[in-house]
Structure 1
Amino acid sequence: MIPRSLQMQRLRVVLQHVKMARFSTQSTDEVLFNAVGDKRVIVLNRPKALNALNLNMIRLIYPKMVEWETDPGVSMVMIKAVGEKAFCAGGDIRAVTEAGKVGDSLAKDFFKEEYILNFKIGSYKKPYLAAIDGITMGGGVGLSVHGKYRVATERTVFAMPETGIGLFPDVGGGHFLPWLHGRLGIYLALTGFRLKGRDVFQAGVATHFVQAEKLPALEETLMKLPEASELHIEKVLDSFHSQNPIDKDKPFILAPYLDKINSIFSQATLEDIVKCLESDQSEWAEKQLKTLKKMSPTSMKVTLRQLQMGETMSLAEILQIEYRLSQRCLEDHDFYEGVRAVLIDKDQQPQWRPDTLEGVTPEKLDWYFSPLPPDRELVL
């Protein structure tokens, strides 16, 4: 007999899932859609939740993207968010783990439908522009980084901090992080290092850097373009970018460490990366070691292999791998424990299992990457 506490927990999750799936007036307001002539604007509208992406939002955005892609009356798509704090601070991971604990389908539906949307953005046949003003992490990265244009501001904070919650840099992280010069992507993925403002552009995450106060003018200029071709869009973006004086002469924050990053984080295994950091003995290396020791050993090993594989894979191929990884995370321990420690209890004391790199065996790592049953695989 199922304990009453578990029955009630299941009921709460199911009711939440139904509430998310129901397209009521309130849930529809989580994403707004504006039409300006032949341009379309998606507006994330959960500012109190830092515009965190949930399943309902995905189900609102995706069909619009599909519709506009084949509509000859639509020339470009822009995505932005309400509020100054965040473009999108990530996915609604807490809801996903609560569903995963009781076997609710939300856990698999969220990742599957999110990745399908990420692929649509990455393969979109019309110009797609994301104004990443404010916190842009996890799910927010998936909504932006695969598009043609990503506009950062001085308020932008970019990070992929998933190894700290027992997850991995998903939403196509295995595809775009290896694109960054040298081994910067691997460094950002393993450490969760935060890039801010112009550094987001200098790292190659954003294509342009525009003052936050100029975003309304930028949008107005784009919306007035008689022809929204890539040539005309880029001319507008380049103009606003070149006129931005903020931190214009400031060097990239990681510039002094790029040689070390490229050397140390090019190692084939986590154990070798740790050995190189220990041998370095610099203050910077000590800081990186301290950071890595906080992360899930399983997540770090999964992430390193994910990014190594992603160097030679298409976006579709790596998203299919990442979907397998997401489902393995839901079947394992560290994802639930990381969310508990960081997002629920907030004691910042996760008890990883295993708690050492050596404890993450090749067999366990292979299991994470192993195929799912055919009817559960992600099809793009």
Structure 2
Amino acid sequence: MEENVNEPGVRFEVDGAVGIVTLDRPRALNALTHDMVRAIAANLDEWEHDADVLRVLIEGAGDRAFCAGGDVVELRRDALAGGSAALDFWRDEYTLNARIARYPKPVVSIMDGLALGGGVGLAGHSSHRVVTERASVGMPETTIGFVPDVGGTWLLSRLPGEVGTWLALTSTAVGPADAITAGLADWFVPQRRIPELRAALATAGPDETIASVSAIPPRTALDKDREWIDSAFAYDDVAEIVDALRAADRTEPLEALLQRSPTSLVLTLESLRRSKRLPDVESALQQEYRVAARVLRTPDFAEGIRAQLVDKDRAPQWDPPTIGAVDRAQVESFFEPLPEGDLELPPPPAAF
């Protein structure tokens, strides 16, 4: 086994034919930093041209999380100071998401524990997406005054029916069975068999290896909920979705929406509807970058992170405070090209 020089928060090694990325900030739930993103991208570049590395494995250290997203507390601090660290981070992170989606070698991601936000950006675009019984997969951005990014609008807008709309607006995280049913994961492997899977990838391809250790996931709850989800979340207006949930007496998702940032809800729904019409993940990431760059300067971004992750009082004061008060003209403007320059991604390969 060959171990590479490591960066803070992430380890790299080559074991036989597999290059292994281990997110290594377990006390921070393996949240991504800019240095981690750059280091992962550099190693993927190296392994792409290494004939001995035939596949890649991405995993998280510890027993609580694969990756709980980006280090948004630090991004908030920089945003309040008027800095550009968030834009620099997102530029490289979104480029990495696109890189994984187009990587020419199989990429296996093991979502053991929390896989949220940026964690979905890593695993969701992988060719082989594994969940364990401890997996909890979701995009929680509306709880912090943000919007789904890292290619999340591309993934969510292509889930069956309105499942992606429900997940995005309510910030619901789902377990392993529902993640597979929804289309955010492909395989269920019991956690006790992950070391076996990891070792086998050194000598065998992912399809046969994962199949040899996979199992039937726990029973899904999503199938029985699809009817009301598809009905209530089919609207292109958040206020109509709220009315539909109220009429259907769906208290839990209704209360979730009423606690979220109204601006984030409206922007998220518009992002999903637009993303569904886009031709490729690169276009979705470009759209997300434009929206994120503008959300960064709104009061809800800093306020949502404060309430959830800094002061932890869970009592954000959203501005504006209601869905009806959200300025539709401003929402439309968030999707326009950025004066300072858009995200620059290589075009999709012709083979795609």
Question: Are residues 1:307 and 2:272 paired?
Answer: yes
Deviations 1:29-61 (A, max 9, x none): 411111112321111111111100010101111
Which sits farther off after the overlay, 59-68 or 136-145?
Answer: 59-68
Aligned Cα RMSD in Å? 1.4
Unmatched segments (≥5 aa) in structure 1: 1-24
Q: TM-score, normalised by structure 1?
A: 0.87
Letter in 2 for 1:312: R
Q: What's the offset of the Cα at 1:150?
A: 0.7
User: Hey, what does 1:322 align to over in structure 2?
Assistant: 288
Q: How many pairs are equivalent?
A: 340
Deviation at 1:325, TM superposition (A): 1.1
Alignment partner of 1:266 is 2:234: yes
After superposition, residues 363-374 of structure 1 pair within 5 angstroms as: 363-373=329-339
Residue 256 of structure 1 pairs with residue 224 of structure 2: yes
Query: For residues 337 and 78 of structure 1, what CA distance do their matches in structure 2 show?
Result: 36
Q: Which residue of 1 aligns with 2:253?
A: 288
Counterpart in the other structure of 1:376:
341
Give the C-alpha shift of residue 246 in structure 1: 5.5
Q: Distance in 2 between matches of 1:177 and 1:205?
A: 8
User: Would you say the 8 A contact 2:17–2:203 is kept in 1?
Assistant: no
User: Unpaired runs of 5+ in structure 2?
Assistant: 346-352
* Contact 1:165 1:296 (C-alpha < 8 Å) held by counterparts: yes
Alpha-carbon distance in structure 2 between the residues aligned to 1:76 and 1:256:
37
> Could you tell me whether the CA contact under 8 Å between 2:188 and 2:216 is conserved in 1?
no
Cα distance change, pair 290–360 in 1 and its aligned pair in 2 (3 A): same
Contact 2:163 2:229 in 1 (8 A): yes
CA distance in 1, matches of 2:342, 2:312: 33
Q: How does 1:197-216 map to 2 (within 5 A)?
A: 197-216=176-195
Runs of 4+ aligned residues of structure 1 deviating over 4 Å after TM superposition are none
Match of 1:333 in 2: 299
Of the two, which has the highest radius of gyration?
1
1:257 maps to amino acid: D
SS of the aligned residue for 1:217 comes to: helix
TM-score under structure 2 length normalisation: 0.93
Higher helix share: 1
What is the identity, as a one-letter code, of the residue corresponding to 1:287?
E
The correspondence of residues 4-83 of structure 1 with structure 2, limited to 5 A, is 28-83=7-62
Aligned residue in 2 for 1:152: 131
Tell me by how many angstroms 1:245 deviates.
5.5
Name the SS for the 1:181 alignment partner. coil
Amino acid of the structure 2 residue aligned with 1:276: A
Given that 1:153 and 1:198 are in contact with CA atoms closer than 8 Å, whether structure 2 keeps it comes out as no
Structure 2 Cα separation of the partners of residues 207 and 110 of structure 1: 29
String of CA shifts for 1:324-379, please: whole Å, max 9, x gaps. Answer: 11111111110000001111111111010111111112111012212101x43100
| Matching residue of 2:348 | none
Q: Give the SS at the match of 2:326.
A: coil
Give yes or no for contact 2:8–2:36 (8 Å, CA) kept in 1: no
How far off its partner does 1:199 sit? 2.3
Asked if the contact 1:89/1:140 (under 8 Å) is kept, the reply is yes
**Residue identity (%):** 38
2:325 corresponds to 1:359: yes
Q: CA deviation at 1:268?
A: 1.5
Output the amino acid matched with 1:214.
R
* Residue aligning to 1:275: 243
CA distance in 2, matches of 1:234, 1:301: 40
Change (3 A) 1:246 1:331: closer
1:105 to partner: Cα distance: 2.6
Could you say which residue in structure 2 is the equivalent of 1:182? 161
Measure, in 2, the Cα distance between the counterparts of 1:323 and 1:29: 26
Q: Distance in 1 between matches of 2:56 and 2:114?
A: 21
2:105 maps to amino acid: K
Residues 279-301 of structure 1: CA deviation (Å, up to 9, x unaligned): 22x2xx12221110000000001
